Chains A and B, each alone.
Chain A
Amino acid sequence: MGRYLSMKPSAKMSKPTSLFVIFFSLFVMSEAVFEDQVGKFDWRQQYVGKTLFAHFDSHSQSSKMLFLATDKNIFASFNSRTGDLIWRHVDKVGPEGTIDILLLHGQDALMVVGDGRLLRSWDTNMGGLNWEAMLDTGSFQAACFVAIQDTVKHVAVLKKAVISLHYLSNGHQKWVENLPDGDAVQYQAVYSGGEEEVYVLGVVPNSHLTIIAYSLEDGEIIKQRSVEAPWLSSVESSCVVVGQGMLMCVDPATLALYTLPIQAEETPQFNQILLQSLDLEVSPSFQPVLVSSQPHPARSPLSEFFLQLGPDHHVLLQLNADGYTIAPLRDFQPAFLVSFATTGEKTVAAVMTPKNETACAINLFSADSGRRLLDTTVIFPLDLNGGKPHKLYVHAFLKKDDSVGYRVLVQTQDHALTFIQQPGRVVWTREEALADVVTMEMVDLPLTGTQAELEGEFGKKADGLFPMVLKRLSSQVTLLQAWLAHLWKLFYEARKPRSQVKNEVTIETLSRDEFNLQKMMVMVTASGKLFGIDSKSGSILWKHYLENVQPNAVFKLIVQRTTAHFPHPPQCTLLIKDKDTGLASLHVFNPIFGRKSHIALPVLPRPILQSLLLPVIDQDYAKVLLLVDDQYKVTAFPSTKNVLQQLQEMSSSIFFYLIRSDQGNLSGFRLRKDLSTERIWEVVLPTEVQKIVAVNGKRPNEHVHSQGRVMGDRSVLYKYLNPNLLAVVTESTDAHPERAFVGMFLIDGVTGRIIHEAVQRKARGPVHFVHSENWVVYEYWNTKSRRNEFSVLELFEGTELYNSTVFSSLDRPHLPQVLQQTYIFPSPITTMEATLTEKGITSRHLLVGLPSGAILSLPKMFLDPRRPEVVTEHSREENLIPYAPEMPIRTEWFINYNQTVARVKGIYTAPSGLESTCLVVAYGLDIYQTRVYPSKQFDVLKDDYDYVLISSVLFALFFATMISKRLAQVKLLNRAWR
């Protein structure tokens, strides 16, 4: 970026600057990114979500591919050397796209999608779809490859009442059979050991086990057995197949293993082996788990298997050749995780054991003997701010000397993936928690030490004239020093080639840049992991995992103290609320370093209904957070004496509102001196007619520069700028297309006065809306015309201001004028936000996230209810665009060019130090950060600004005047002599 000019257009955009406006509007039209700007101010990170299934490409030895299926319905391939995404398939959101199972064989990846809706085969090399087959209805139970004579040709899919066999090559169904007695028996597993039969295992809980053998050829039932098993409740959770088709089950009640040969001809019986007889002991209240491995679908599973006896206790056991006795091979205690891996003919077991506080060790053991393999230890560093290891995925391979080498992928509870290679090197880490960002804030970076010192000077108490002068001088000297050091560094680095100068951003070197364009993004994810991300580079600077966060928790992130109050560190508070119980807890931390702060937290024994951040600050410059519980009692945080005193003084002017959408009830409260509350207004929207779907106030950090709009006849139309205004959106309970409607209520949050009440007929949600300044923009679905529509509401006080000095909700008796216009929008949208700048001079744009992943920067100018239907002299003077019912989408308005953001969920905007520039973060599955300039960069000099030309012209003019002055003098003198 070139040099910045610190001049901002000081003129209000009001009266004499209509030319200016025209100018801007021309700029607006030509907004786009040039090729050489790509990636300069923006970055995108792609994520996939929490891993459900992971497979290494074992097809060829040198393959670098790693395949993942995740809870976000994504099937993706990674480069295992770098952790980069190779390709990714994003399926439908919700149960329709859930991945039930991922099986890998050779170059084919088999996937059952949508609870047994579809069977898909992918080509793993390119990521292309080989084929897709619709499956019969019924919920998915299990699937496995079926092989004959060492070649895998089929896949069997077991559903609740049906089993089907499909060809691997084209997905065609070979046969489908209804399962007998489907109502009583729960079929849960399907097994094939490479013979001519496919076995289906079902259970009648606590009664008996059913084994059905189907002929591979035509799906005929060859045999059907029923075995007494009163102790068995689920095959899925307590049984595995080991060795030559031996079903191995564990019963936590009797503490015994049961074995049963599946393929036995006569009516078999379970053979009980007490764990006691093997000298094994299960940890109290722990459900033992069996882990087995079937390296190749054409062969039977290994006869070795793991039995987990406690949270950190595993035993490697072997089923003897007689099929009835079990021999313990090795006892692993402590051991967090175990996993089998096969390469060639060798199968190994990887075991993760705790090493010390900060690391775990992973070792390989030979599966058939339980012996430890030499030189196979790798160290997994445990992040104190991360989660515990959750799952191991091991990729074993044969080295040149025929010994087994391996790489391992560790999944931790915070959804992070860490890839480790021998000898103990972390190759890459992916923070998949970022695939589900819930809320975020941008915090200014702190000042550098010298800047802070200068700032600190003003904060301190004055102690005499002379010491103040000295202090000022000393700080000026330090500034000079810093500047000289900076110059020296520039000079020094100028000699180095450019590529080497690239300095890494670390948490120590973080400091605010000249125009506050670099900020700290604090992101809260659904898994309870917090991230601090540098907005310039996108690198994660800190992370903190909050354990014990419920999966249905609701988060609210509040910046209580910004960076502006040196030496007090900035402070963020995260309110974590359990959705069901409403009980809340607070996590207070420093947003720059991510460290938890040691402030005493208030006790919150009751469910929290509402939290509000007051502009009141305590003696440490932290804003006061008020938490309202279900008995309408208020807790203040921080709750020092100073704060409580201030609250008492201000109590009569602190109002807040509560909304119970299930009852359609909106009510307002006022704080009393004793911190109890008093209900002062109540509005009830009957739930039989409509339900409240969203409520939105304005952003507290928003600035509005001009109080009004200058009209064509030079009079001013004043905006109705009520900071307490709430936009309440309702949807009708009646879903009939003719009678459905969307309601838009504008309610004053202090007095409960309904400022405006409008109904959009024949409309349906989902409604997306933005509420800012004096306008509300909302988008809905028109059920009659079957299209998306945008509507804009603007509120004006009129040509005279009631009270121009201060706005008080209590003293504004006249209702504002409301103007509204509606437009057709040619695309559905997923989210919407408005740009925000430092002083609010720059014109506003709406940032619209589209389902295609594009982010549209739509000028607010197009959403202006004063757009005239018939162009007049006045409207032309005002530079209003004539009304057109359709809103255009121009491709140059896409701020993220080809960097689509999959499943955009939210857009966050933050002002920068430059008035022209607004920082934008779009998050969803991906995270995209960029800058937008709604009025172009009017306060920035161009990159190619010609300094030489300007200065040479200046110098030339200067010398020309000097010379001409001299010449004039000579001439005058000569004339005088004459």
Chain B
Amino acid sequence: MASVPRSFLLLSVIPTILILCVDFACCNTGRKIGDGLDTDFSGFSVPLEHSFEVDDVSRFRMRGALQLRGGRETSVSLSQSQLSEEDRNTLKEVAAVDGLYKIRVPRVSLTDRQTERQMDGYLTAFVRACSLVESHLSDVITLHTDVSGYLIGVSIVTIPGACRGTEVEDEVDLEAFNTTLTIIAPTNAPQPETALFIERMDIEHEKRGKPQEQKSFFAKYWYLILGGAIFLMASSSAQPSAGGAEEQQS
């Protein structure tokens, strides 16, 4: 166990942080179990599983537990353990053959807690194992819900996302996940902005509608008279046009 760094021995870390809907928080190592868990926490926990195999056949194992709380302020937090040495080696091997690292969560409803109805099936997402390794396990997991609070999708990306083929020497980098967790509900698409437009029109109308001082007829319409005169002159001197084809692309 010489290669195992100290931090592993110190604690089997389970990070937990509460976050609000559409906010996110980093789940760093360094907190003890149950640190952020209140006793009256009405949320529930669902497993977050992951799979990475050299032969690309999915075998999901436990990665951590998602603490979900529905209601008005949907929040989510994640507690996860470190990767074992065996896992680290597998992950590196998978990364070497450009395999995939997959995660899955069961389909649940955040609001429909009374029925406790767990729908069958899982939501799955993946990321290239090499990018996970190269980013030193810094991943961003996003949970998507629909309007009624069902989980509909999960996504995982790593930052940085590229695979440049850089070797990860230090084993420490592959021990604990540095996860950013977000939960996203659908946004409301905008309606036509009629109210604002009408308001603006009214303001413009008012501006325009200010009483002007009385001017004489010529002072008021001199441009029309001038324009008419010019037009009359022009039309009397101009020759008749030769048809539509000429105007066509002018």
Contacts and interface: CB of A to CB of B under 8 A. Distances in A.
Nearest to A945: B249
B225 interface: no
Contacts, number: 159
Interface in B215-244: 243-244
Contacts of B122: 682
B2 interface: no
A679 B124 CA distance: 9
B246 A751 contact: no
B243 A36 contact: yes
B243 A822 contact: no
Nearest to A750: B126
B171 interface: no
Contacts of A944: 245-246
Nearest to A670: B100
A369 interface: no
Contacts of B162: 803, 811
B88 interface: no
A551 interface: no
Interface string B69-101: 000000000000000000000000000001010
Which residue, B160, B163, B191, B192, has most C-beta atoms of chain A within 10 A?
A: B192
A321 interface: no
Interface in B120-156: 121-128, 131, 140, 142, 144, 146-148, 150, 152-153, 155
A34 B183 CA distance: 56
A683 B128 contact: no
Contacts of B196: 869
B146 A34 contact: no
Given A36-B245, A810-B161, A944-B245, A757 B197 contact: no
A754 B197 contact: no
A471 interface: no
B161 A759 contact: no
B135 to A, nearest CB: 9
Contacts of B194: 824, 885
Interface in A932-948: 936-937, 940, 942-944
Interface string A759-792: 1110000000000000000000010000001010
Given A811-B131, A822-B191, A753 B247 contact: no
A365 interface: no
B247 A689 contact: no
Contact of A760 (B189, B197, B244): B189
B11 interface: no
A753 B157 contact: yes
Contact of A680 (B100, B158, B192): B100
B60 to A, nearest CB: 12
Interface in A874-925: 883-886
Given A685-B152, A751-B126, A943 B131 contact: no
B63 interface: no
B190 A752 contact: no
Q: How many A residues are at the interface, by size bracket?
A: 35 or more
Contacts of B124: 667, 679-682, 752
Contact of B161 (A34, A36, A741, A812): A812
A813 B157 contact: yes
A885 B98 CA distance: 50
Contacts of A751: 125-127, 155, 157
Interface in A20-62: 34-37
A885 B142 CA distance: 34
B121 A682 contact: yes
A744 B159 CA distance: 27
Which residue, B56, B184, B189, B244, has most C-beta atoms of chain A within 10 A?
A: B189
B102 interface: yes
Interface in B156-213: 157-163, 184-194, 196-197, 200
Contacts of B163: 811
B119 interface: yes
Nearest to B57: A678
B114 interface: no
Contacts of B50: none
B155 A757 contact: no
B248 interface: yes
A718 interface: no
A870 B128 CA distance: 46
Contact of B150 (A34, A689, A811, A940): A689
A743 interface: yes
B56 A943 contact: no
Interface in A941-958: 942-944
A756 B188 CA distance: 11
Contacts of B193: 822, 869, 883, 885
Contact of B146 (A670, A680, A690): A690
A652 B128 CA distance: 11
A672 B98 CA distance: 12
Nearest to A741: B147
A758 B126 contact: no
Contacts of B159: 813
A711 B245 CA distance: 38
Contacts of A747: 153
Nearest to A825: B192
Contacts of A937: 249
B147 A683 contact: no
Nearest to B187: A758
Contact of B188 (A37, A667, A759, A936): A759
B125 A743 contact: no
Given A759-B186, A944-B246, A813 B160 contact: yes
Contact of B121 (A681, A684, A761, A821): A684
A820 interface: yes
B144 A757 contact: yes
Contacts of B127: 751, 810
B179 to A, nearest CB: 13
Given A35-B244, A810-B128, 20 more contacts: A34-B247, A679-B124, A683-B152, A683-B153, A686-B107, A751-B126, A751-B127, A752-B126, A757-B185, A758-B187, A759-B187, A759-B188, A789-B191, A803-B162, A869-B200, A870-B200, A940-B249, A942-B248, A943-B248, A944-B246
Chain A to chain B: the 8 pairs with minimum beta-carbon distance, closest first: A34-B244, A683-B153, A753-B155, A811-B161, A885-B192, A813-B157, A682-B124, A757-B186
17 contacts: A36-B244, A652-B98, A670-B100, A684-B107, A684-B152, A689-B146, A689-B150, A744-B189, A752-B126, A752-B155, A754-B184, A759-B188, A811-B131, A820-B189, A824-B192, A883-B197, A943-B248
Interface of A: 34-37, 652, 667, 670, 672, 678-686, 689-690, 741, 743-744, 747, 751-754, 756-761, 782, 789, 791, 803, 810-813, 820-824, 869-870, 883-886, 936-937, 940, 942-944
